[in-house]
Structure 1
């Protein structure tokens, strides 16, 4: 089985690319969704409460906006939150890989992880795929999604530049055209990944 790490900066279209890979036949796990479900776990809520105090809604769920505001401008707090969530996210991804491998030994299994390069976890994958778009395009896309220019720039600036991320990639998918063009590129990439997966299986 081929373990693929998929990443890209905000507004580059990595989630769309992930969706297309899934349509082609890849197994997919999304780290953001994993985080979403972790925030509902009582043990995680407890740790967040100890660390950040009352960042909960009236119904007792984690108020993600409140939490985001605390960590966004505070590196120390951000690290604390990551130390609570990241190990659990990795565990879930590992579990996902094991389950896929049991089911289909020459599968292409993709983990979509936004901070893979920043956290160094990109080293855990056989192949790293980075979805790339230049900053001007990132900005346009985020504004289309309803962010103000200021918000969008702040978000972009808080992340590693796309050019920097691309340096860590085994495969770069340049997403500068239409959705159809992206789909075509993803199709080609999937063929390549599938081939590599077969090769890996034959080696073992």
Structure 2
């Protein structure tokens, strides 16, 4: 099995690339979706309540917007939240890899992880892919999704610059044109991954 780490920055199009990989036959897990699941867990809620106080909705769920506001303006708090969530996320991803390997030893298994480089976790993968888009395009995409320009810039700046991430990549997928162009790029990379997987 080939373990692929897929990353990029906010607004570069990681999820779109993941979906194309999945369509081509790869197994995909999305760290953000894992986090959504974790935030519903009772033990995690308790830890977050202790650390961050009242960031809950009336229904007792975690208000992700409230939490995001806190952690994107306070580096210490961001570290604290990552300390609660990251070990659990990596456990889930590990479980996913084990299950995939059992059912399909020749699989290409892709983990989409926004902070793959920042956490140093990229070292645990056979191959690292970075989805690239210049900052201007990132901002345009985020504001289209309803974020203010300030908020978009803040989010982008809270991550390692995309040009830095590219230095760690085995493959770079440029998401700067049409969806058709992106699909072609992903298909090309997938062919190369298949070749790697057969030697693995």
Give TM-score scaled by structure 2 length: 0.97
1:133 aligned residue:
133
Two-structure CA RMSD over aligned residues (Å): 0.9
SS at match of 1:3: strand
1:160 is aligned to 2:177: no
SS at match of 1:56: coil
CA displacement, residues 18-72 of structure 1 (integer Å, 9 cap, x when unaligned): 1100000000000000000000111111111111112111111111111112211
**Structure 1 gaps, min length 5:** none
> How far apart are 1:157 and its partner, in Å?
1.6
Tell me the matched-pair count: 200
* C-alpha distance in structure 2 between counterparts of 1:151 and 1:135, whole Å: 13
Structure 1 segment 73-88 matched on structure 2, within 5 A: 73-88=73-88
> How far apart are 1:10 and its partner, in Å?
1.0
SS at match of 1:177: coil
CA displacement, residues 77-110 of structure 1 (integer Å, 9 cap, x when unaligned): 1111111100000000000000000000010000
CA contact under 8 A between 2:72 and 2:155: conserved in structure 1?
Answer: no
2:25 aligned residue:
25
CA contact under 8 A between 2:8 and 2:131: conserved in structure 1?
Answer: yes
SS at match of 1:160: coil
**Structure 2 gaps, min length 5:** none
1:57 aligned residue:
57
* C-alpha distance in structure 2 between counterparts of 1:7 and 1:17, whole Å: 10
CA displacement, residues 172-202 of structure 1 (integer Å, 9 cap, x when unaligned): 01111101100011011111111111111xx
CA contact under 8 A between 2:56 and 2:63: conserved in structure 1?
Answer: yes
Give TM-score scaled by structure 1 length: 0.95
* C-alpha distance in structure 2 between counterparts of 1:64 and 1:30, whole Å: 17
SS at match of 1:117: coil
* C-alpha distance in structure 2 between counterparts of 1:32 and 1:153, whole Å: 20
> How far apart are 1:147 and its partner, in Å?
2.1
Cα 1:146/1:66, change in 2 over 3 Å: closer
1:6 is aligned to 2:6: yes
